[in-house]
């Protein structure tokens, strides 16, 4: 979000932009630890529309930003095993069709036919979109950083934001471990850490960090190159091809909010057992690597865009585990919000901070 916002502000001719990153390298936060999935399949209109803007930007990324990002359109296949999910996904399918997104409805037989390596005897239905897929997160971050730098943005790593000075009700400076920087404008794009940055400016943000983890396996020759991103929705269990092996992850429903990014090996075993039950050939493989990262969860699983009660303090965070794919359009929308005073490319004004106080939340059902 930070790299995309800085790039889009600079593209509009804005000068004197600083991008601050506390880590040694860019993209080591949620983005660098994510599964790289990009999809149109959401349950709310605003999320489908964000994908309708953002995924084509990823399609054009190499031409516009000059960086290969390996967009592989393998499709997302949600497998549904509970009647309640079938109901919700049927409504989402209708919404997607109305917005021009051609998601397919699959019967249990079609699911088994498309996934011969998997066991889904309990499948009731499936939802598949061939335009969904995988993109390399690091390439997207570094593409935006490089393009922003070429437009004059100073991208500084190893600079930890430690405080925000507010005078009256407006921003006057950012404090860092390298010294203070005077400014009238700050964009809080700190992902899972956005709540901490909000506190520094005296703005309470309902964004909680929640650990999620992933593992990848050693090569498995049976996995076809076009193997889709498969989600067992009821278990929040997913699989996609990574290199010549499989990447699998599963959401732990009992995970408490916190900043721990160590792998929970007990839960990893639960993930592994569930994965082998769905894909028995995984019994043959070894663990190649594993890692944990943080979701940035809001109460309605939608991001927060725009102004805050402190003048000059903006927010673009809280994407609740599906923000990588909306990074391109979100940076463009933030540039519009700051320079034009409104969101031009798409109306996301309903995703403001005030919605939580005013009871205007809209729940996204399709969260993994
Ligand atoms: C395991 C996992 C799988 C996921 N899978 C997907 C997926 O398949 N598809 C998808 O779209 N999304 C996915 N997500 C969600 C996605 O990663 C996030 O929604 C998205 O990356 C958020 O981007 P961001 O720029 O807001 O946050 P980040 O990428 O975390 O960027 C915030 C940056 O701010 C820096 N920062 C924080 N505090 C400070 C400070 N005090 N000073 C200076 N710098 C600071 C951090 O170091 C970090 O680099 C996944 C997330 C996880 C954890």
b/e per residue 72-101 (b: at least 16 CB within 10 A) = bbbbbbbbbbeeebbebbeebbebbeeeeb
Compute the distance from residue 323 Cα to the ligand 1 centre, in Å.
Answer: 8
Compute the distance from residue 319 Cα to the ligand 1 centre, in Å.
Answer: 9
The C-alpha torsion from 336 through 340 and 342 to 347, rounded to 10°, is -40
Residue nearest (by alpha carbon) to ligand 1 atom 25: 1
- Residues pairing with 134 in the sheet: 37, 72
Predicted TM-score (pTM) of the model is: 0.97
Quick check: 248 and 271 in contact, CB under 8 A? yes
For β-strands 208-217 and 287-297, DSSP reports them as: antiparallel
Cα–Cα distance measured from residue 313 to residue 292, given in angstroms and rounded to the nearest whole number: 30
Cα–Cα distance measured from residue 224 to residue 202, given in angstroms and rounded to the nearest whole number: 52
Compute the distance from residue 192 Cα to the ligand 1 centre, in Å.
Answer: 6
Q: Which helix (H) or strand (E) holds 6?
A: helix 2-11
Ligand 1 atom closest to the CA of 162, numbered from 1: 41
**Which of 34, 271, 305 has most ligand 1 atoms within 8 Å of its beta carbon, as the pocket-test mutant?**
34
Q: How far apart are the first and last CA of the chain?
A: 20
Q: Which helix (H) or strand (E) holds 131?
A: none
What's the confidence (pLDDT) of residue 141? 98
What's the confidence (pLDDT) of residue 108? 98
Residue nearest (by alpha carbon) to ligand 1 atom 9: 37
CA angle 37, 39, 43 (to 5 degrees): 125
pLDDT digits (tens, 9 = 90+) for 63-121: 999 999 999 999 999 999 999 999 999 999 999 999 999 999 999 999 999 999 999 99
pLDDT digits (tens, 9 = 90+) for 232-241: 999 999 999 9
Compute the distance from residue 54 Cα to the ligand 1 centre, in Å.
Answer: 17
b/e per residue 183-203 (b: at least 16 CB within 10 A) = eeebbbbbbbbbbebbebbeb
Cα–Cα distance measured from residue 170 to residue 176, given in angstroms and rounded to the nearest whole number: 18
Residue nearest (by alpha carbon) to ligand 1 atom 47: 29
Residue nearest (by alpha carbon) to ligand 1 atom 51: 34
Q: Which residue has the tokens 């990447």?
A: 247
Ligand 1 atom closest to the CA of 326, numbered from 1: 11
What's the confidence (pLDDT) of residue 70? 97
Residue nearest (by alpha carbon) to ligand 1 atom 46: 29
pLDDT above 90 as % of the chain: 99
Cα–Cα distance measured from residue 160 to residue 180, given in angstroms and rounded to the nearest whole number: 11
Pocket of ligand 1 (CB under 6 A): 1-2, 20-23, 28-31, 33-37, 160-161, 189-193, 212, 214, 249, 293-296, 317, 319, 321-325
Compute the distance from residue 211 Cα to the ligand 1 centre, in Å.
Answer: 12
Quick check: 194 and 315 in contact, CB under 8 A? yes
pLDDT digits (tens, 9 = 90+) for 180-203: 999 999 999 999 999 999 999 999
Cα–Cα distance measured from residue 24 to residue 136, given in angstroms and rounded to the nearest whole number: 20
Residue nearest (by alpha carbon) to ligand 1 atom 36: 190
What's the confidence (pLDDT) of residue 344? 98
Q: What Å distances lie between residue 353 and 58, 206, 318, CA to CA? A: 27, 9, 10
Residue nearest (by alpha carbon) to ligand 1 atom 41: 161
Quick check: 188 and 338 in contact, CB under 8 A? no
Quick check: 330 and 5 in contact, CB under 8 A? yes
DSSP string, 259-279: ---S--HHHHHHHHHHHHHH-
Give me the chain's average pLDDT, please.
Answer: 97
Compute the distance from residue 226 Cα to the ligand 1 centre, in Å.
Answer: 27
pLDDT digits (tens, 9 = 90+) for 318-361: 999 999 999 999 999 999 999 999 999 999 999 999 999 999 99
């Amino acid at each position: 979000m930070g790299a995309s916002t800085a790039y889009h502000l600079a593209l509009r001719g804005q000068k004197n932009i600083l991008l601050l990153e506390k880590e040694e390298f860019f993209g080591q936060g949620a983005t660098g630890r994510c599964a790289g999935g990009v999809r149109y399949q959401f349950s709310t209109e605003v999320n489908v529309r964000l994908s309708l803007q953002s995924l084509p930007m990823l399609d054009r990324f190499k031409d516009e930003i000059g960086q290969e990002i390996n967009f592989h359109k393998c499709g997302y296949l949600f497998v549904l095993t509970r009647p309640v999910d079938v109901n919700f996904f049927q409504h989402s399918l209708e919404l997607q069709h109305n917005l021009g997104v051609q998601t397919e409805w699959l019967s249990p037989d079609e699911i088994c036919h498309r996934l011969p390596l998997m066991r889904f005897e309990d499948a009731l239905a499936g939802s598949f979109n061939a335009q969904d897929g995988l993109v390399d997160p690091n390439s997207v971050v570094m593409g935006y950083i490089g393009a922003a730098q070429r437009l004059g943005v100073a991208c500084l790593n190893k600079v930890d934001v430690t405080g925000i000075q507010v005078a009256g009700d407006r921003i006057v400076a950012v404090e860092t471990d390298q010294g203070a920087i005077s400014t009238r404008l700050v964009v809080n794009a700190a992902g899972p850490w956005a709540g901490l940055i909000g506190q520094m400016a005296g703005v309470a943000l309902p964004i909680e960090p929640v650990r999620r983890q992933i593992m990848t396996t050693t090569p498995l020759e049976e996995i076809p190159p076009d193997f889709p991103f498969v989600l067992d929705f009821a278990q929040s269990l997913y699989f996609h091809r990574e290199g010549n092996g499989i990447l699998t992850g599963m959401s732990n429903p009992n995970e408490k909010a916190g900043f721990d990014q160590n792998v929970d090996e007990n839960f990893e075993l639960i993930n592994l057992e569930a994965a082998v039950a769905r894909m028995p050939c995984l019994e043959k493989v070894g663990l190649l690597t594993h890692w944990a990262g943080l979701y940035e969860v809001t109460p309605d699983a939608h991001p927060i865009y725009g102004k805050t009660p402190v003048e000059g303090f903006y927010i673009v965070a809280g994407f609740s585990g599906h923000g990588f794919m909306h990074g391109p359009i979100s940076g463009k929308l933030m540039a519009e919000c700051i320079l034009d005073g409104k969101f031009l490319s798409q109306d996301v004004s309903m995703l403001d901070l005030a919605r939580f106080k005013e009871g205007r939340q809209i729940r996204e059902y399709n969260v993994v």
